[in-house]
């Protein structure tokens, strides 16, 4: 039987605002997951695909956290929905207790390949699969117990708030360049104010370079197990290029290497095994003079209410997508249903194609349309024109790889989900 959530953690638990996810959110989830599953078949830790299946995380739609909770409970974990960033010590304590906190937000189309803010792709498809490995679970729980009690400083707290603020701004479509620049300046000032590395900062760095961005194996062909990589189309592919330096894991080097949550990582650490990492946590705990095993031996007495929420689906901020654009994505999602007749599908595809001019920059919308048209072998001339539009949109360097990956997935009829 699972222990109840302690009272002091309950205020961070929210109801997942599932009805507020739009068809664009679902399309982003689907695009990222199709890309990631295809890539990680060969490059992720061997438990990755098995873990996706065990957690009942599907490629075609955003997962429901209640269902994830039931699935994870079969191997000793739970899942709760949380509202984006939560304080580091609380984030750590959830995991120390075997509870995966899952941010409910979904990244925007502009941040398909990488998002600076916590979102459900990162939490569900990044963190959850590797928890299927018992040795990894032991490491995470031990590290997070250490993190839940490690001492922080006012400078640490200011840095956390600066990172949180910048991440939210970058993921909000209505943010202005001036607002983002001001937040970046504030983050730089907070980073510069950090003097001696605190206990909490050491643990945070170890968590970042392993649980978030960890690699395992040899330096030439490591396997990915970090959630930040497993959930990022762009960054996971960069791992195997010269753009990322691979370094053998070393505790001292790891805890003295800072990181920037809003950018791609220039170097990553490669460990030998999860047991090596667990040994490193015990070494660090001794250095910091902090005990381990306290949480595992506690007996909580606070019952869990059926649902605790600080916001409802109606309170969820809109991303700023035009209503007409959301409706177009929804139409394409509906056209995948088997019950739709051939004539109705072709008529709707013609109408959607005619409306593309209203949204000249939306490459993902065109990929979604092209997939339906190609799958059902209709409108061949329009298909060619849509491909020409995508080639034109590929002139933008930020979109080039995203479009190329989408077309490659379409043309090879690659993965439709974990097997």
How many CB atoms neighbour CB 275 within 10 A?
Answer: 13
- Give the CA distances from residue 212 to residues 18, 30, 78, 87, in Å, rounded to whole numbers and listed in that order: 25, 22, 19, 17
Phi and psi dihedrals of 333, rounded to 5?
-65, -40
Beta bridge mates, 359: none
Crossing angle for the helix pair 323-335 and 342-355, to the nearest 10 degrees: 150
By the 8 A CB rule, do 390 and 367 touch?
Answer: yes
- Give the CA distances from residue 281 to residues 63, 71, 130, 155, 202, in Å, rounded to whole numbers and listed in that order: 32, 28, 18, 24, 11
Spatial distance between the Cα atoms of 45 and 43, rounded to a whole number of angstroms: 7
Per-domain residue ranges for the chain?
A: 7-314, 323-412
Phi and psi dihedrals of 260, rounded to 5?
-120, 115
Q: pTM for the whole thing?
A: 0.88
Give me 35's structure tokens: 């890309």
Phi and psi dihedrals of 208, rounded to 5?
-60, -50
Nearby residues of 281 by Cβ (< 8 Å), 6 or more positions away: 139, 142, 143, 146, 206, 292
By the 8 A CB rule, do 409 and 34 touch?
Answer: yes
Spatial distance between the Cα atoms of 251 and 238, rounded to a whole number of angstroms: 24
> Tens-digit pLDDT profile for the chain (419 aa)?
567 889 999 999 999 999 999 999 999 999 999 999 999 999 999 999 999 999 999 999 999 999 999 999 999 999 999 988 899 999 999 999 999 999 999 988 988 887 777 899 999 999 999 999 999 999 999 999 999 999 988 888 898 888 888 877 877 777 888 998 999 899 889 888 887 889 999 999 999 999 999 999 999 999 999 999 999 878 898 999 999 999 999 999 999 998 877 778 999 999 999 999 999 999 999 999 999 987 754 543 333 333 333 333 333 345 678 999 999 999 999 999 999 999 999 999 999 999 999 999 999 999 999 999 999 999 999 999 999 999 999 999 989 999 999 999 888 753 343 33
- How high is the pLDDT of residue 2? 63
- How high is the pLDDT of residue 166? 84
Question: Superfamily for 7-314?
Answer: Aromatic amino acid hydroxylase (1.10.800.10)
Spatial distance between the Cα atoms of 138 and 171, rounded to a whole number of angstroms: 33
- How high is the pLDDT of residue 319? 67
Give me 185's structure tokens: 């300046």
- How high is the pLDDT of residue 304? 35
3-state SS record for the chain: CCCCCCHHHHHHECCCCHHHCCHHHHHHHHHHHHHHHHHHHHHECCHHHHHHHHCCCCCCCCCCHHHHHHHHHHHCCEEEEECCCCCHHHHHHHHHCCEEEEECCCCCHHHCCCCCCCCHHHHHHHHCHHHHCHHHHHHHHHHHHHHHHCCCCHHHHHHHHHHHHHHHHHCCCCCCHHHHHHHHHHHHHHHHHCCCCCHHHHHHHHHHHHHHCCEECCCCCCEECCHHHHCCHHHHHHCCCCCCEEEECCHHHHHCCCCCCCCCCCEEEEECCHHHHHHHHHHHHHHHCCCCCCHHHCCCCCCCCCCCCCCCHHHCCCCCCCHHHHHHHHHHHHHCCCCCCHHHHHHHHHHHHHHHHHCCCCHHHHHHHHHHHHHCCCCHHHHHHHHHHHHHHCCCHHHHHHHHHHHHHHHHCCCCCCC
Q: What angle do CA 82, 87, 92 make, to 5 degrees?
A: 80
Give me 251's structure tokens: 């505790």
């Amino acid at each position: 039987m699972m222990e109840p959530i302690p009272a002091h953690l309950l205020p961070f638990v929210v109801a997942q605002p599932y009805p507020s996810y739009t068809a664009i959110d679902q399309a982003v989830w689907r695009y990222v997951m199709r890309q990631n599953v295809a890539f990680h078949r060969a490059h992720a830790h061997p438990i990755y695909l098995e873990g996706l299946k065990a957690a009942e995380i599907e490629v075609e739609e955003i997962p429901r956290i209640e269902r994830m909770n039931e699935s994870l409970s079969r191997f000793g974990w739970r899942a709760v929905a949380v509202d984006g960033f939560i304080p580091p010590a609380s984030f750590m304590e959830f995991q120390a207790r075997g509870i995966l906190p899952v941010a409910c937000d979904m990244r925007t189309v502009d941040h398909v390949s990488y998002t600076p803010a916590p979102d459900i792709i990162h939490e569900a498809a990044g963190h959850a699969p590797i928890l299927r490995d018992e040795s990894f679970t032991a490491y995470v729980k031990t590290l997070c117990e250490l993190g839940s009690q490690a001492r922080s400083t006012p400078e640490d707290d200011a840095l956390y708030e600066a990172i949180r603020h910048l991440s939210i701004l970058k993921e909000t479509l209505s943010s202005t360049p001036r607002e983002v620049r001001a937040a970046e300046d504030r983050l730089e000032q907070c980073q510069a104010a950090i003097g001696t590395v605190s206990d909490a900062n050491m643990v945070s760095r170890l968590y970042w370079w392993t649980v978030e961005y960890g690699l395992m194996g040899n330096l030439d062909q490591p396997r990915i197990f970090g959630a930040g990589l497993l959930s990022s189309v762009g960054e996971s592919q960069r791992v195997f290029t010269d753009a990322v330096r691979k370094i053998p894991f070393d505790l001292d080097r790891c805890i003295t290497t800072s990181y920037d949550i809003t950018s791609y990582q220039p170097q990553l650490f490669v460990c030998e095994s999860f047991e090596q990492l667990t040994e490193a946590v015990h070494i660090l705990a001794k250095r910091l003079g902090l005990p381990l095993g306290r949480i595992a031996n506690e007996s909580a007495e606070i019952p869990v209410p059926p649902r605790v929420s600080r916001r409802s689906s109606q309170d969820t901020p809109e991303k700023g997508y035009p209503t007409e654009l959301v409706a177009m994505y929804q139409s394409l999602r509906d056209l995948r249903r088997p019950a739709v007749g051939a004539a109705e599908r072709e008529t709707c595809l013609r109408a959607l194609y005619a409306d593309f001019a209203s949204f000249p920059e939306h490459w993902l919308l065109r990929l979604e349309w092209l997939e339906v048209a190609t799958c059902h072998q209709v409108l061949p001339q329009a298909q060619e024109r849509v491909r020409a539009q995508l080639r034109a949109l590929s002139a933008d360097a930020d979109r080039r790889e995203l479009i190329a990956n989408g077309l490659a997935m379409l043309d090879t009829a690659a993965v439709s989900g974990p097997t």
